[in-house]
Structure 1
Amino acid sequence: MNDVIFETVITTQSADGRPHVAPMGVRYQDGGVVLMPFKPSATLDNILATGAAVLNVLSDTRVFAGCVTGRKTWPLLPAEKITGVRLACALSHLELRLAEQSDDAQRPVLHMARVHAVSHAPFIGFNRAQAAVVEGAILVSRLRMLPPDKVISEMAYLQIAIDKTAGPEEHEAWGWITEAVAQHGTSLKEKS
């Protein structure tokens, strides 16, 4: 399996049509996409129920930060070839259908076949602050697994990129991340 992981945002729908937005690292393999959502997760449940998902490529890093800090409502548009939704801010999206699955106690492997791909705007790359926000969002998603000193040192390093290159959107997203880290730090202190 290709071990290169690309950070994207996956949109899915429940069997009754409720949308779900979640950042997720994906692997591109054999013309398709490999997803490995954790158990339990709405993304996993929705894909197993509907057999479909949309991979969104975007540069608005507020979506990454928002999803891991409880801000999961983002403007959506209907997918074109599958029953599902995509992010309105997506620079491109890839509509996927479940082709094969391998169960696992923690992270099932879902092989997704490409159904339809659309480019909406060019991706010109991330500035350092956008990359820092994505890394900060990943850090927030793992707060329960990491020692506090690691979190503090990672946040301090990422802050440098925010200070040097962030625009208004990145400052907003970084604020959500720092708030989540501070809240987690407070709860850590209360438990000790």
Structure 2
Amino acid sequence: MTFIRETVITSLDPAGNVHVAPMGATVVAGGYILAPFRPSRTLDNLLATRCAVVNVTDDVRVYAGCVTGRRRDWPTVPAERIRGAVLDGALAHEEIEVTAIEDDAMRPRLTCRPVHLVNHRPFRGFNRAQAAVVEGAILVSRLHLLPPEKIDREVEYLSIAIGKTAGPVELEAWGWLMDRIAEHRAGTGNAA
């Protein structure tokens, strides 16, 4: 059985520059399938270095900051067993190596095996606002593909959870997402 886990992938380019990107990682027996769209810095880095780090975080600002372009300079620390970077403050991380590549013009599939797993602190659970921000970040990453009515319906529904359960971190992240949607509609925002 496979399922997708919403994660933050940290990868390095050949020069050692860190790239942080939210990505759904498909969990399969023995590891993950990563399928970044072309063009993608994450894909370029994975193809060049054949390794990355799968980070699990409850700081939803990372998701919102990356997809809106609001913030991408998240602190990292060196990985332990691969040439890579770990999201500082991650709940857990898994260092992975690419073992197979199924090429595709739009979305190659990279099979990855874990080489090291570290739990940094316990996961206390998401509140509904955190889940809404993650869903909102996915929505924002697809603004160019979705009709305005779909965006409005999703935002209206997700706003219920924000209104009921958000703390300061979730409100900040949600604000970034709403600003990005407004910029998209006004035609003033650059793609993140």
With normalisation by structure 2, the TM-score equals 0.95
CA offset at residue 186 of structure 1? 1.2
Distance 2:152 2:89 in 1: 31
Task: Give the 5 Å matches for 1:66-77.
Answer: 66-70=65-69, 71-77=71-77
1:172 and 2:172 correspond: yes
- Letter aligned with residue 109 of structure 2: V
CA offset at residue 6 of structure 1? 1.0
1:28 maps to 27
Distance 2:106 2:89 in 1: 31
1:38 maps to 37
Paired residues in the alignment total 187
Give a deviation string over 1:146-171, Cα, whole Å, max 9, x none.
00011011111111100000000000
2:108 maps to 108
With normalisation by structure 1, the TM-score equals 0.95
- Letter aligned with residue 67 of structure 2: V
1:121 maps to 121
% same residue: 58
RMSD: 1.0
Unaligned runs of 5+ in 2: none
Distance 1:111 1:103 in 2: 11
- Letter aligned with residue 81 of structure 2: K
CA offset at residue 174 of structure 1? 0.3
Give a deviation string over 1:2-49, Cα, whole Å, max 9, x none.
2x2110000000000010000000111122111000011000000110
Distance 1:144 1:129 in 2: 24
Distance 1:12 1:79 in 2: 10
CA offset at residue 50 of structure 1? 0.5
